[in-house]
Amino acid sequence: MTPAPTTVVASPTPSPAATAPTGPIGADGKPLKPCCSCPETKKARDQCVFNLGEENCLDMIKAHQQCLRDLGFKI
């Protein structure tokens, strides 16, 4: 008996656009991370929430969100 022919299927190589980061890029050319961006507003927001509770810090929360949006994050 003759063995059945084998078919090899190669995975397509992703295009550079598909592998490029989609978020904002820092001055050093590396992608920015939301957790490390806007440290000033993040610290003020976190301290406010810790001391006063989230419901009393909406202005700080909105300021941090706006800072992230200004950098190009979709929040």
Binding residue ranges: 35-36
Phi, psi (deg, nearest 5) at residue 45: -60, -50
State the binding site for Cu cation: 35-36
Residue found by looking up tokens 């980061």 in the block: 21
Q: Are 60 and 67 in contact (CB under 8 A)?
A: no
